[in-house]
Amino acid sequence: MSLSHALLGLLAVAPASGYELTKEFEQEIGRYAWQAGHTSIYPELGKLAARGLVHVTHEGARGAKTYDVTDEGREELRSWLLQPPNPTATVRNEQVLRMFLLSALEPADQRLMLTRIAEHTGRAATELRAVVATETPGGGPRAGFGRLAGEFGIRQYEAVHEWALWALDHIAEDGQA
């Protein structure tokens, strides 16, 4: 299960509370890599603590608990991250699924959908490029993290943008690509 490793990884970069981790999952990590809500995060932190991979470093106001990774947790994370790319790893992307099912539509609808995708990803790439450019070097505890994610996102949007333009160019009148 990858949620445990996602939490381990985020905590390895900087200790945090369940609440802060939840907000993290609403950012880039949730948009490109893995989604999770607080109702799965809190119990999972409890399980990780029970397994000795994380521990509570201190309790703050309003019952807030700050978690940090233990040496054992760091070892577990490292061995998971350094695994060779495995071809059966979990993949689930609703947007990409929509693109793949394009062939099920009539030609006119195909063009409509591809045009929308091209516009949307083109705009998203431009916006993200602007955001990344204005980000101050240095910054918070996860600054490097955001930079890496930003550059990934830009390339991701550009790739889909180029694909949509290619597809628009290559679907014939009868809709066969």
Partner DNA sequence: GACACCATGTAAAAGGTTACATGATTCG
Partner DNA sequence: CGAATCATGTAACCTTTTACATGGTGTC
114 binds, among a second copy, DNA, none (CB under 5 to 8 A by kind): none
Beta carbon of residue 106, minimum distance to a second copy (angstroms, whole number): 8
Interaction between residue 13 and DNA (CB under 7 A)? no
CA torsion sign, 94 to 95 to 96 to 99? positive
Interaction between residue 101 and DNA (CB under 7 A)? no
Q: In angstroms, rounded to a whole number, what is the distance separating the alpha carbons of residues 131 and 87?
A: 33
Q: In angstroms, rounded to a whole number, what is the distance separating the alpha carbons of residues 46 and 88?
A: 28
Interaction between residue 163 and DNA (CB under 7 A)? no
Interaction between residue 1 and DNA (CB under 7 A)? yes
Query: Beta partners for 66?
Result: 17, 58
Interaction between residue 141 and DNA (CB under 7 A)? no
91 binds, among a second copy, DNA, none (CB under 5 to 8 A by kind): a second copy
Cβ atoms of residues 104 and 113 within 8 Å? no
Interaction between residue 3 and DNA (CB under 7 A)? yes
Query: What is the token pair recorded at 48?
Result: 């990780």
Q: Give the number of other CB atoms < 10 A from CB of residue 53.
A: 24
Q: In angstroms, rounded to a whole number, what is the distance separating the alpha carbons of residues 97 and 82?
A: 29
Residue 37 or residue 140: which is nearer to DNA going by CB? 37
List of long-range contacts for 47-51, beta carbons under 8 Å, 24+ apart: 47/4, 48/4, 48/7, 48/8, 48/73
Give the one residue of 59, 78, 107, 127 binding a second copy; rule: CB under 8 A.
78
**Contact residues for DNA, defined by CB under 7 A:** 1-3, 17-20, 22, 35-40, 42-46, 60-65, 90
**Contact residues for a second copy, defined by CB under 8 A:** 2, 5-6, 8-10, 12-13, 28-35, 77-78, 80-82, 84-85, 87, 89-105, 109, 112-113, 116-117, 120, 142-145, 147-149, 151-152, 155-156, 158-160, 162-163, 166-167, 170-171, 175-177
